[in-house]
A and B are shown apart, each in its own frame.
Chain A
Amino acid sequence: MSESVNVARLREATLDDAEFMGELVEMFLTDVADQLVSLERAIASADWPSTSRTAHRLRGASSNVGAEELARLCSDLEHRSAEAGAVEISAGAGIREEFERVTSALQDCVLQAKSEGR
């Protein structure tokens, strides 16, 4: 869990405020769930420009919450799809799986922060 989310970064980004962290995580999870659907649709229809754009956004959002591995995967996909090497793209390349791990890690972080009364 701790590898999926850089907790120190997330706390720093949200000024060590549990409520702020809770809101950011909620915003992130809702947005990324939508983006992931778009991403998978773009990959399925081999729309590489759209894949690249969506991956770019996902990378930015992930890095904000300290989801460094997810950000790395998205960055990787962004660049490969931008080069339009359609055949080289092994579909979502584990992004959804990583997102599941990030989701539970983030939820744990929020619970932890709230229980500590920050």
Chain B
Amino acid sequence: MRVLVADDDPTTLFLVRDTLRRFGYEVETASDGLAAWNKLKDAEIPIVVTDLDMPVEDGLTLCRRIRAAAFSHYTYVVLLTQHSARKNLLEGMSAGADDFVSKPLDPEQLRVRLIVAQRIVTLERELRELNKKLTTLNQGLEVLSRVDPLTGAGNRNAFQEQIELTHANALRTGHSYGVVVCDLDRFKQVNDRFGHQRGDQVLAEAVAEIRSIVRTGDSLFRYGGDEVVLIIPNAGLENVARVAERICDGIRAAAFNAELEPSLQITASFGVAAYPESCGEGSHWAELFGLADEAMYVAKRRGGDGLERAPYQGEGTDQEQGRLAFAEGSPPKLTAA
């Protein structure tokens, strides 16, 4: 283990250095506080043995510099003190030293203090490595908790976070934004006829198709089942409808499960809504989302492969009213079509 020894007296420096070398430490030396600091900031040296009274910069300044530094590792500091200088000891420990050894030097005292230093430094190092692993794992979990594993799109949690953010942003800046709810037509039949594996593949391919059409600033989520939601910032209702049309065309034209027999043709239904055009100023994002969802069902009832703008003002949608359940402050719950 590496140790830096700082003392302005060459005899002490020599004595401490050679004693520590004999105890198996790798020793660097410095003859004043500033020289010691320059060595510490350029290399990871976990243990420092320092005199208090040194020219240029003293040991107290060195202690304070070490404690104020944003090193990634802990630096264990042992003071070398004269028996008579007790008041300096309190000052030194307060400035950040961990331990002290009295002069004249007793090699056994130095040896035992360094055993403690080594133990603390090793524990700290192990803790730091564990912490690093934990942070990496947590970051991975954080990503996993927001991504739908099948399609790579954001999941329901991510959708809620993103729409809250986008909505707050729209309220602050006065910009509009849009939501597209997309549901594959007769998807249940794909699952029933060709099995869930092919159904899953169709879903993944549909999301990939949508992703290839939307802009980078737009965000895509798998809300549940075969329902995909798109959030489009800085767009009005007609802009949003054009995006939905392009996606509708793209899905209709694509061959799904292209490498399998038979490959499939799929269409999708879209409900589009924009804040504030669809729901009015000051409404909750859940209201906007509910309207988009409702419009999607209208498009679906019409036979699919098309879109509807929210709010839908057509012929009596009363039969659908009970389908959407809102709870105050929480996202709407959808039931399957």
B10 touches A64 (CB 8 A): no
Interface range, B side:
10 to 19
B14 touches A27 (CB 8 A): yes
A57 to B8, CA, bound (A): 8
**B106 adjacent to chain A (CB < 8 Å):** yes
A13 to B103, CA, bound (A): 11
A12 to B104, CA, bound (A): 11
**B61 adjacent to chain A (CB < 8 Å):** no
Interface hit among B15-23, B161-169, B211-219, B267-275: B15-23
Q: How far is the CB of B129 from chain A (nearest CB, A)?
A: 35
**B107 adjacent to chain A (CB < 8 Å):** yes
Q: Which residue of A lies closest to B13 (CB)?
A: A27
Task: Identify B12's interface contact among A15, A17, A20, A60, CB under 8 A.
Answer: A60
A64 to B15, CA, bound (A): 8
Task: Identify B11's interface contact among A12, A20, A27, CB under 8 A.
Answer: A27
B11 touches A28 (CB 8 A): yes
A12 to B105, CA, bound (A): 9
**B44 adjacent to chain A (CB < 8 Å):** no
A13 touches B11 (CB 8 A): no
**A56 adjacent to chain B (CB < 8 Å):** yes
Q: Which residue of A lies closest to B11 (CB)?
A: A61
Within 8 A of B (CB), among A16-53: 17, 20, 23-24, 27-28, 31-32
A27 to B84, CA, bound (A): 25
**A65 adjacent to chain B (CB < 8 Å):** yes
Task: Identify B107's interface contact among A15, A32, A61, CB under 8 A.
Answer: A15
A60 to B16, CA, bound (A): 13
Q: Which residue of A lies closest to B14 (CB)?
A: A27
Q: Which residues of A contact B11 (CB under 8 A)?
A: 24, 27-28, 31-32, 60-61, 64-65
**B9 adjacent to chain A (CB < 8 Å):** yes
Interface range, A side:
20 to 34
A23 touches B14 (CB 8 A): yes
B107 touches A13 (CB 8 A): yes
- With A57-B8, A57-B9 given, is the CB distance from A24 to B14 under 8 Å? yes
Q: Which residues of B contact A71 (CB under 8 A)?
A: 104
Q: How far is the CB of A23 from chain B (nearest CB, A)?
A: 7
**B245 adjacent to chain A (CB < 8 Å):** no
Q: Which residues of A contact B12 (CB under 8 A)?
A: 60-61, 64
**A107 adjacent to chain B (CB < 8 Å):** no
**B239 adjacent to chain A (CB < 8 Å):** no
**B82 adjacent to chain A (CB < 8 Å):** yes
A56 to B103, CA, bound (A): 12
Q: Which residue of B lies closest to A26 (CB)?
A: B14
- With A23-B14, A64-B103 given, is the CB distance from A15 to B9 under 8 Å? no
- With A31-B10, A60-B9, A60-B103 given, is the CB distance from A23 to B53 under 8 Å? no
Contact digits for A3-19, partner B, Cβ 8 Å, 1 yes 0 no: 00000010011110100
A-B pairs, 3 with minimum CB distance: A63-B104, A61-B11, A28-B11
**Please, could you name 23 A-B residue pairs with CB atoms under 8 Å apart, sorted by A?**
A12-B107, A13-B104, A13-B105, A15-B19, A17-B22, A20-B22, A24-B14, A27-B11, A27-B14, A28-B11, A31-B9, A56-B53, A60-B11, A61-B10, A61-B11, A61-B12, A63-B104, A64-B9, A64-B12, A64-B103, A65-B11, A66-B104, A75-B84
* Additional A-B contacts beyond A31-B11, A60-B11 (6; CB < 8 A): A13-B104, A13-B106, A24-B18, A57-B9, A61-B12, A64-B9
